[in-house]
Amino acid sequence: MTLWTAAAIAAATAGTAHGDFTATGVAFDSREIGPGDLFVALKGEATDGHRFVGRAFAQGAAGAIVSEAVDHPHVRVADTTAALDALARAARARTDARIIGVTGSVGKTGTKEALFAALDRAAPGAVHRSVKSYNNHVGVPLSLARMPADTRFGVFEMGMNHAGELTALTRLVRPHVAIVTAIAPAHTAYFSGEEAIADAKGEIFAGLEPGGVAIVPYDSPHRDRLIAAATPHAARIVTFGLSEGADVWAREALPVAAGTLVSARLVAADLTFTLAPPGAHWVSNALAVLAAVEAVGGDLAAAGLALAEMAGLAGRGARVPIAVQGGEATLIDESYNANPASMKATIDTLGHTPATRRLVVLGEMRELGEGADDFHAALAGPLATAAVDFALLVGAGMAPLAKALEGRIDFAHVADAAAAGDALIRRIAPGDAVLVKGSNAVGLARLVGALAGGAAVTGASSCFI
């Protein structure tokens, strides 16, 4: 399917086409280029995409957006970053799709993926979403530029770590429905407090289309602040949560073998469904998903079926059986990122996971500013409540937690992810549940990859190299 022609790209970006081509995809990372893709040669602080134009065409690129002359079919523009934004605006302008934007301190990627699954169940092949965590100033326009013109529903994740960033992103996306999943301490090094974080997340409502719907977490202490941010832009505000006062709320949420059985009241309907991912935080995410599906006129019954079939996402809750000497253990992969709220939620989920023993590998939480020590130390309580048998703490930032755990829980503290392998291997036994979570920069995904690689864990540290 043709996504872009050279002529359409030139018209959208005010560029000049050199050679005719049609593109079926878009990428700015030459390593992701496949046959028929459009390569956007972005210039950044660390590198220049023009250096990789040759590689992109060797991998099958159909054309490129460049600001310098190249010996391949291309559209030449003055500024390739501005051109990507222009292509995003053109993609948004040419579709009649119902668009949903998602942000929040925690849960936005999982909610985005659940929304995709819920809508795709009833409209297979007609739903477009951001891939991976492409939620920043280049990821969002890339995701928009990849959206086919005949898309029926589009779901876009938007992130930020400074005030003002979401305003720019949401005005590109122009959602019909905008969700804030939750407000929690994250990137606090860049904000004066949670109120400032709430204000920054509330910027998503500034991009709402006329008649748009704002979806706000009812149980958040910042609910009224978010409602105030949405009021000038939204035709309707819908709250979701675990409390009866919410517009969309869970009357009951009962743990069952397949996950959680949820009976939910929506704005205009009731729905009972099984939610596969465990944890109260996922019940809240699911309510936001259903509120959005209802707001865009989606099929709620199909959405309920999709939520029952959702598998955990790599780095965000995937549960993987791993072979250990003498049997099998369960790996809970939360390695992608961490902040105080998500740490507490996943530790609580571990506490409700049937297991012979419960082990955690916790990497330090980054970008927490002056309160970092207190945020880390505060995890001692949730670890004790969850009856964790052993905690492996990774990174210098975990020192306050190590001190708080003395005399309470068996633990070890290592300098980095590379040192974590040996300390963990000696501990895992059949029947264990092992939670791995930390800020992405700590690099625990490598540890997860080694554990889930298929070879039995026997104590040989070479499997982590």
CA 322 – CA 339 distance, rounded (Å): 26
Contacts of 405 (CB under 8 A, 6+ apart): 380, 383, 391, 411
Q: State how far the alpha carbon of 83 is from the alpha carbons of 24, 80, 154, 310, in Å.
A: 18, 5, 21, 36
pLDDT of 83 over the 50 cut: yes
* pLDDT tens by residue, 396-420: 999 999 999 999 999 999 999 888 8
Q: 4's torsion region: left (phi>0), alpha (psi -120 to 50) or beta?
A: beta
pLDDT at 177 over 90: yes
Phi-psi region of 114 (alpha: psi -120 to 50; beta: other; left: phi over 0): alpha
| pLDDT tens digits along 42-72 | 998 888 999 999 999 999 999 999 999 999 9
Partner residues linked to 272 by β-bridges: 263
Superfamily per CATH, domain 4-79: MurE/MurF, N-terminal domain (3.40.1390.10)
- Give the amino acid at 261: L
Overall average pLDDT of the 186-190 stretch: 62
At the topology level, CATH places domain 318-464 in: Protein-Tyrosine Phosphatase; Chain A (3.90.190)
User: To 5 degrees, how large is the angle CA 290–CA 292–CA 295?
Assistant: 110
As annotated, the residues of the chain forming the CATH 3.90.190.20 domain(s) are: 318-464
Residues forming CATH 3.40.1190.10 domain(s) in the chain: 95-309
Token pair listed for 428: 């895992």
Name the H helices within 130-222.
139-145, 165-173, 194-201
Q: Residue 291's closest CA among 95, 96, 102?
A: 102
Give the model's pLDDT for residue 462.
Answer: 25
pLDDT of 257: 80
Q: How far apart are CA 169 and CA 259, in angstroms?
A: 35
Q: In this predicted model, what pLDDT tens digit does every residue of 225-276 receive, in sequence order?
A: 999 999 999 999 999 999 999 999 999 999 888 889 999 999 999 999 999 9
* DSSP-assigned letters across all residues of 256-316: ETTEEEEEEE-SS-EEEEEE-S-SHHHHHHHHHHHHHHHHTT--HHHHHHHHHHPPPBTTB
pLDDT tens digits for range 8-33: 999 999 999 999 999 999 999 999 99
Residues of each domain in the chain carrying CATH 3.40.1390.10: 4-79
> Of the CATH numbers 3.30.950.10, 3.40.50.11390, 3.40.1190.10, 3.40.50.170, which one belongs to the domain with range 95-309?
3.40.1190.10
Q: What band does 341 get if pLDDT is binned at 50, 70 and 90? A: confident
Say what the pLDDT of residue 192 is: 75
- At residue 187 the predicted structure's pLDDT band, cuts being 50, 70 and 90, is low
Distances (CA, A) of 408 to 353, 362, 377, 391, 398: 21, 16, 13, 11, 16
Cβ atoms 48, 68 nearer than 8 A? no
Kindly report the pTM of this predicted structure.
0.82
